[in-house]
Amino acid sequence: MAKKLTEKVALVTGGSRGIGAAIAKRLADDGAAVALTYTSSPQKADEVVRVIEAAGGRALAIRADSTDVEAVKNAVAETVKTFGRLDILVNNAGTAIMAPIDQFSLDDFDRLVAINVKGVFVATQEAIRHMGKGGRIIMIGSVNSDIVPIAGVSVYALTKGAIASFTRGLARDLGPRGITVNNVQPGPVDTDLNPADGSFAEGAKGIIALGRYGQSDEVASFVSYLASPEASFITGANLKIDGGFAA
Ligand SMILES: NC(=O)c1ccc[n+]([C@@H]2O[C@H](COP(=O)([O-])OP(=O)(O)OC[C@H]3O[C@@H](n4cnc5c(N)ncnc54)[C@H](OP(=O)(O)O)[C@@H]3O)[C@@H](O)[C@H]2O)c1
C-alpha cells in the first residue's frame, strides 16, 4: 500500500535537531522526499539525512540561515531543483531569547524577529510559488502566543503571536488555491532549546496537566497528520499540543 505522502516533497526549516529533525524523519517515513535546512549543525543535519536514506527515503540538507533572505530563497529553489516539486513547507526554524523587558536589547529583538517571523514570511512567500492544490504550510508556533505563565518571555511570545495571526491571514489568501495553512503550537518539548532537565523545567512541569515534557516525536505525529490528505478541511487553525499546559 502506498504511504500517505508518497510522491510529495517537503521542506522543513531547522531540521537538524529537536522538533524539526523529528518532523523531517517522520515525513520521510510517511513517504515524502524531505529537504531540511540548518545553520550551525552540519553534522547533525547530515545525520538526519543518513537516517532517512538508510530507511530507504530521500533527503537533502541545505545550509540556510533563516536571517539570510537569499539563503532561504535558495533553499526553496534547491529543494525544487532536486526533488522536482514542493508540496509541504514546515516553518520550524526558530529560537528563544529570554530576558526581562528592561534588559532586552534591540539587537536581540531584531534577531528574534528575523528568525521567528521574517524567515517564516520569506520561506512561505517563496514556497507558495511552487505549490499547487493540496499544498500544506505548517508553522511551528508556540503555546506562548496564547499563554505566558512566566516573566522574560514577552518578545518570544510576540514572535509566536505574529505567527498565529499570519496563519489566519494566510489561510484566507491561500484557501482559493487549495493550500492549507495551520499553526502547531507546542508546549514545553524536550530539546536543546528547552531541556526537560533544564532550569526552566521544574516550574513548567508543575503546570503541565500531564506532568511531563512533550517529545519531539509527539509533535511530529501531529505535523504528519496535518501534512496528509486526511487534514484537507483544516486551515487557519492554531492548534495546541501542550500536554494541557494551557488547560
Ligand atoms: N522546545 C520547546 O519547548 C518548544 C516549545 C514551543 C515551540 N517551540 C518551537 O519549535 C521550533 C523548534 O524548536 P526546538 O525546541 O526543536 O529547538 P532546537 O532544539 O534549538 O532546534 C532548533 C532548530 O532550528 C534551527 N535553527 C535555529 N536558528 C536557525 C536559523 N537562524 N536559521 C536556520 N535554522 C535555525 C537549528 O539549526 P542548527 O542545528 O543548525 O542550529 C535547529 O535545527 C522553534 O520554532 C521553537 O520556537 C519549541
At 45-97, the pLDDT tens digits run 999 999 999 999 999 999 999 999 999 999 999 999 999 999 999 999 999 99
Cα of 128 from ligand 1 centre, angstroms = 22
Which residue from 37, 33, 21 is spatially nearest to 122, judged by alpha carbons? 37
Collapse the DSSP code of 235 into the 3-class scheme (helix H, G, I; strand E, B; otherwise coil) and give the result: coil
Give the pLDDT confidence score for residue 177 in this predicted structure.
98
- With a 6 Å cutoff on the Cβ, whether 14 touches ligand 1 is yes
Q: Quick one: pLDDT at residue 247?
A: 96
Q: How far apart are the first and last CA of the chain?
A: 39
Contact 47, 122 (CB under 8 A): no
**Ranges 15-19, 27-31, 201-205: which has the least confidence:** 201-205
pLDDT score of 2: 87
505522502: which residue's cell?
5
For the chain, where are the alpha helices, taking DSSP H only? 18-29, 42-54, 69-83, 106-113, 119-127, 154-174, 201-206, 216-227
Instruction: Let me know the angle formed at the C-alpha of 242 by 105 and 108, rounded to the nearest 5 degrees.
Output: 10
Confidence of residue 43 (pLDDT cuts 50, 70, 90): very high
**Which of 30, 32, 31, 35 has its CA nearest to residue 48?**
35
What's the grid cell of residue 103? 534588559
CA of 176 to the centre of ligand 1 (A): 31
Sheet holding 180-186, edge to edge: 59-63, 33-38, 9-12, 88-91, 136-140, 180-186, 237-241
User: Is the CB–ligand 1 distance for residue 183 below 6 Å?
Assistant: no
CA dihedral sign of residues 36, 39, 42, 44: negative
Q: Is 243 in the pocket of ligand 1 (CB under 6 A)?
A: no
As a whole number, mean pLDDT of residues 19-31 equals 98
For residue 152, give the 3-state DSSP assignment. coil
**What pLDDT score does 199 carry?**
85
> For a substitution probing ligand 1, which of 11, 12, 13, 19 has the most ligand atoms within 8 Å of its CB?
19
Phi, psi of 138 (to 5 degrees): -125, 120
What is the tens place of the pLDDT at every residue in 103-146?
A: 999 999 999 999 999 999 999 999 999 999 999 999 999 999 99
**Predicted pLDDT of residue 200:** 84
**191: CA distance to ligand 1 center in Å?**
9
* Residue 124 Cβ < 6 Å to ligand 1: no
Q: What is the pLDDT of residue 229?
A: 97
Over residues 205-244, the pLDDT tens digits come to 999 999 999 999 999 999 999 999 999 999 999 999 999 9
pLDDT tens-place string over residues 137-195: 999 999 999 999 999 999 999 999 999 999 999 999 999 999 999 999 999 999 999 99
39 in ligand 1 pocket by Cβ < 6 Å? yes
Pairing of strands 59-63, 33-38: parallel
Whether 142 is in the pocket of ligand 1, judged by its Cβ within 6 Å, is yes
**Closest C-alpha among 163, 165, 156, 162 to residue 188:** 156
- Please give the backbone phi and psi of residue 238, each rounded to the nearest 5 degrees, phi first: -105, 110
Residue 20, pLDDT > 80, answer: yes
Task: Identify the bridge partners of residue 181 per DSSP, sorted by sequence position.
Answer: 137
pLDDT over 80 (residue 12): yes
Which ligand 1 atom minimizes the distance to the CA of 44?
39
| Cα(64)–Cα(61) distance, integer angstroms | 9
30-69 burial, b at 16+ Cβ within 10 Å, e below that, comes to bbbbbbbbbbebeebbeebbeebeeeebbbbbbbbbbbbb
Ligand 1 center from residue 112 Cα (angstroms): 12
Closest ligand 1 atom, residue 189 Cα: 3
Which of 43, 91, 193, 219 to mutate for ligand 1's pocket (most ligand atoms within 8 Å of CB)? 193
* Ligand 1 pocket mutation pick from 12, 16, 69, 150 by most atoms within 8 angstroms of CB: 16
CA of 94 to the centre of ligand 1 (A): 4
pLDDT of residue 202: 86
